Amino acid sequence: MAVDATLVRDLREKTGAGILDCQKALTQTGGDVTKAIDFLRQKGLATAEKKAGRTTNDGLVVSYIHAGNRLGVLLEVNCETDFVAKTDDFQELARDLAMHVAAANPRHIKREDVPADILDKEKEIFLAQAKESGKPAAVLDKIVAGRLEKFYAETCLLEQPFVKDPGVTIKDLLGQKIAKLGENISIRRFTRFRLGEE
């Protein structure tokens, strides 16, 4: 199937993917742009998983100060080379991530970072709430598991919906950038400061 060059250009503008990748995605999906975007996202996640084991010793430390100077973020984002760290795409990603941390207030980078004592306390609270709602004992574990997933999505940076595009999680966003830039990218650490907050 021949793919219209206008569709390729539109898909490229929407996703930032390469021309050949856009052509392949449109061919695979019969020219359906929405399905092609999903195809490219899945490909990006697969590419990201392949690169996940590679070390990231370069990158940037960025800051974001919200209007009014009452809220600020310092964030370290790593990549494999200083070449990628200097690209506009990587720098834009770093700024977007810092702004996201300011807006969404995550407490941890990934679910594995949540301390066991906090996790145990949350499970205990969720179980008590489920019991109080009068649900049968057989479904209590499923209710707790569902509420834990919501807890992770609210408190873990990688699982939060990206503030600029809520249809994409931060993990998906990183996957897209890894596929586009060709290097592993990781968020190493962040600190969020709010005036007067302990």
**CA 105, CA 119: separation in Å to the nearest integer?**
18
CATH topology of domain 115-154: GTP Cyclohydrolase I; Chain A, domain 1 (1.10.286)
- Hey, what are 91's tokens? 């720098």
Of residues 7 and 92, the one with the higher pLDDT is 92
Q: CB within 8 A of 170, min separation 6: which ones?
A: 97, 100, 157, 158, 159, 160, 162, 187
- Residue 51 reports pLDDT greater than 70: no
pTM (2 d.p.): 0.70
pLDDT at 54 (0 to 100): 58
Which of helix, strand or coil describes residue 197?
A: coil
What is the rounded average pLDDT of the residues 147-153?
93
Domain 5-51 coded CATH 3.40.50.920: no
Comparing C-alpha atoms, which of 160, 169, 175 is closest to residue 107? Answer: 160
What is the rounded average pLDDT of the residues 179-188?
87
109, 187 in Cβ contact below 8 A? yes
- Residue 47 reports pLDDT greater than 60: no
Give the whole-number percent of the chain exceeding pLDDT 90: 47
- Residue 21 reports pLDDT greater than 80: no
CATH topology of domain 58-109+156-194: Tetrahydropterin Synthase; Chain A (3.30.479)
Query: What residue segments make up the domains of the chain, in order of their start?
Result: 5-51, 58-109+156-194, 115-154
Buried b (16+ CB within 10 A) or exposed e, 56-65: bebbbebebe
